[in-house]
Amino acid sequence: MKELVVNLNTGLHGDLAVPGDKSISHRSVILSSISEGTSHIHHFLASDDCISTINAFREMGVNIDLDGDELTVEGVGLHGLKAPQTKLDMGNSGTTTRLLSGLLAAQKFTTNLIGDDSLSKRPMKRVSEPLSMMGASIETTDGHLPMTINPGHIKAVKYELPMASAQVKSAIILAALSADEDSVIIEPQVTRDHTETMLNQFGNNVIERAGNEITVHHQPKLTAQDFNVPGDISSAAFFLVAATLVPKSHIVLKNVGINPTRTGILDVLIQMGANIKLLNQTNGSEPTADIEVTYTPELKPIDVTEESIPLMIDELPLVALLASRADGHSTITGAEELRFKETDRIKTVVEELRKIGIHIEELPDGFSIDGSNDWQVVDSSLDSHGDHRIGMTLAVAALLLDVDVQLKGEDAISISYPQFFDHLQHLSD
């Protein structure tokens, strides 16, 4: 249980470089492991989830050195992984599990995947079904982990994703690399495209995109790379929202990834009238910017609908919090995918925000929220439910309360942002 006390007399202020992007960090380990040569990755996110990915590849014979946020990976090539001697422990990481399922489906050895309680409740049929269509042999435990992946001969596929999921898309892409011909994947809505972007960096023209249709060229030659992981916009989002809501705040978040498949939170903040400026933009394959945020006393309500959900999927608990402070009624709909995250985030957000007096209702696919600046705390004992993003959202909400609150399960925050409380302290000193 952590006492959430931050002295905010002068608001949040100063500069901060947020840690490396989680999605990109996972993919950097995966793609450098299956490429030829030694890759050097800078500003890697050494959080619990990404360590699960590193450990899995170490178990499969890849030499990986992690020193602070510098990662060195001696790639073994597309067909060079070795049978692990133990079960692969995915920890809490859905990204590790789903992306690795695709890669492991094409190996000549059997792997057993296990995970923690939360991960073992999350749906895996969404990957085992399409991979089985491609010739994989996967046994799940009633659609969940533990999962056994047997050696398979992967055939090319044309697959239309039934849900907008970058993890499922990436699993199929990674399997398709080892197929006998080129594969085609169709997304219902565009989701984060880091796998595609990074694959084209490691190999020539591996992925081609035309609208929502992605072609994966089979058996590419992947070569080691040297690159920087941009700051994680999903981590920056906690401070973007905090500085918007906490009086007198003025901060600059440095070198944040602004890939357009991830910037839904910026669109929401701007639509609600927040004072946000992008500075020093770069235009590489993963564009970045410094983001300047100033306290905004009045926010407009917002209606977030299905099309934009994938662009801010992990930030929706924060969007709900922003809407709770807006001047009027907001809705978030088309977000049923939130029910399949580390917790059922529709349920946990509603349960926890109601404790601090926020008027929020659960919808089957999202939230209905009446904004107010006058929250009457009914229960000051908050709970992350073991979900890192719920824990951090509640820590931001606590900045707006004039009563002391406690957070249970704060250790979950190290899943994606081990330095979160230090960084909050840094911005409030």
Report if residue 337 touches ligand S3P, rule: CB under 6 A.
yes
The answer on whether 94 is annotated among ligand-binding residues is yes
Pick the closer one to ligand S3P by CB: 88 or 316. 316
* The 3-state secondary structure of 103-131, one letter per residue: HHCCCCCCEEEECCCCHHHCCCHHHHHHH
Rounded to the nearest 5 degrees, what angle is found at the Cα of 288, between the Cα atoms of 283 and 292?
130
Residues of span 21-40 touching ligand S3P by CB under 6 A: 23
- Distance in angstroms (rounded) separating the CA atoms of residues 183 and 157: 5
The pattern of x and - marking residues 168 through 207 that bind ligand S3P according to CB under 6 A reads --x---------------------x---------------
Residues of span 77-136 touching ligand S3P by CB under 6 A: 95
To ligand S3P, the closest distance from the beta carbon of 192 in angstroms equals: 6
- Least Cα distance to 224 among 66, 37, 31 occurs for 37
The answer on whether 98 is annotated among ligand-binding residues is no
Structural tokens at position 214: 């992605």
To ligand S3P, the closest distance from the beta carbon of 387 in angstroms equals: 11
Identify whether the C-beta of residue 341 lies closer than 8 Å to the C-beta of residue 332: no
To ligand S3P, the closest distance from the beta carbon of 233 in angstroms equals: 12
- Distance in angstroms (rounded) separating the CA atoms of residues 406 and 391: 11
Pick the closer one to ligand S3P by CB: 233 or 313. 313
To ligand S3P, the closest distance from the beta carbon of 180 in angstroms equals: 26
Q: Residue 88 CA to chain centroid, in angstroms?
A: 21
| Beta strands 250-257 and 288-294, pairing class | antiparallel
Instruction: Tell me the residue type at 168.
Output: V
Number of residues that bind ligand S3P (CB under 6 A): 10
Identify whether the C-beta of residue 175 lies closer than 8 Å to the C-beta of residue 103: yes
Pick the closer one to ligand S3P by CB: 4 or 166. 166
Structural tokens at position 126: 């969404």
Task: Check residue 289 and report its DSSP letter.
Answer: E
Collect all residues with Cβ–Cβ distance below 8 Å to 100 and sequence separation of at least 6.
30, 53, 56, 88, 90, 113
The answer on whether 314 is annotated among ligand-binding residues is yes
**Binder to ligand S3P among 193, 196, 286, 314 (CB under 6 A)?**
314
The pattern of x and - marking residues 128 through 167 that bind ligand S3P according to CB under 6 A reads -------------------------------------xxx
Pick the closer one to ligand S3P by CB: 166 or 326. 166
Catalytic residues: 314
To ligand S3P, the closest distance from the beta carbon of 165 in angstroms equals: 4
Binding region for ligand S3P (CB under 6 A): 23, 95, 165-167, 170, 192, 313-314, 337
Known binding positions for phosphoenolpyruvate = 22, 94, 122, 167, 345, 389
